[in-house]
Structure 1
Amino acid sequence: MGQIITHACGHEQIHYLSGFASQQERRARWLETTKCRTCFVATKQTEQAEAAVRDGAAIAHLDLPLLTGSDRQVAWATTLRASRLCAFIATPATEGNGHKVCTHVTDAKWWIDHRTLTDTQLLAEAELYAVGIDKSASGDIDTGLPQAA
């Protein structure tokens, strides 16, 4: 049976609490101190939008190439790239040219796939990506196929 909880935001929501009676009471008391799901999601989205604007403004001076990929990939990767580059610029250890390697990565999928890496790992992967592009542009990549003379 559902229990109606009045959240800290003032909204009421039905919650299905399980466990022993003491566990249900403790969970109900905790839920009363939190926002309802709708308010929580709205707050989270607002915070993410503000962070995206702040990060975008911090890297606006960089001449970044457009990302390639599907619309959803590009939208997500743009946010990821902005936050990571902003963090690189703000960190004294990477104030040099470290972040410049990442500015040349244009593949949205790459940014999404590497979003959980540490700064050091991300810079190393970006350098490998740049080397891969340079090799493919000059034809130096060994594909294992016979080359025409």
Structure 2
Amino acid sequence: MEQQIIHACGHEQAHVIYGFDSQIARKARWLRSTKCRACFVADKKAEQVDAAARDSAIIAHLDLTPLTGSERQVAWAENIRISRMASLAATSHTTTEADCNLCLRIYDAKWWIDHRDLPNEEFLVQATSHLQIAGIPADGQRSAAA
């Protein structure tokens, strides 16, 4: 059954609510206490923009090289990389600069996307492993083969 709900933000939106009468009434009350879909999405986007600006300010001193991949991969991976680098820079351990330098040498957008959900410790292990497989020294020195 479709109902017109006036949300907490003041916007009216149609909702199809199924269930018993008590369930429909409870869901309608809950929907009236929330924001409409458009306001919810706008708030989430604003939060993401604020977080990206904050993260970018934290790592502004780093020279981020361009990533490789498709346009969509690069756009997504850049956000992931900025967030991860800010997270690493915000940690209070002695190898923060080395960790950031390690991550700066990974240019593959797909790699950043594939490893986005790892905790920092596991992420750094995977980054070191990736660089070793690619033949790039993890300590930033050029390899003897190069």
Normalising by structure 1, report the TM-score: 0.86
1:131 partner letter: Q
- Tell me what 2:109 maps to: 108
Distance 2:42 2:68 in 1: 29
Normalising by structure 2, report the TM-score: 0.88
Identity over the aligned pairs, expressed in percent?
51
- Tell me what 1:84 maps to: 84
TM-superposed deviation, 1:11: 0.2
1:38 partner letter: A
- Tell me what 2:139 maps to: none
Q: How many equivalent pairs are there?
A: 138
TM-superposed deviation, 1:109: 0.5
Give secondary structure in 2 for the equivalent of 1:134.
Answer: coil
- Tell me what 1:99 maps to: 100
Q: Is this contact kept in 2: 1:9–1:36, CA < 8 A? A: yes
Instruction: Give the gaps of 5 or more residues in structure 1.
Output: 140-149
Instruction: Give the gaps of 5 or more residues in structure 2.
Output: 137-142
- Tell me what 1:18 maps to: 18
Matches within 5 A, 1:1-149: 1-93=1-93, 95-134=96-135
Q: Is this contact kept in 2: 1:4–1:14, CA < 8 A? A: yes
Distance 1:113 1:138 in 2: 30
2:98 partner letter: N
Whose Rg is larger? 1
2:110 partner letter: K
2:31 partner letter: L
Deviations 1:26-77 (A, max 9, x none): 1111111111001111111111111111111211101121101111111110
Distance 1:99 1:125 in 2: 14
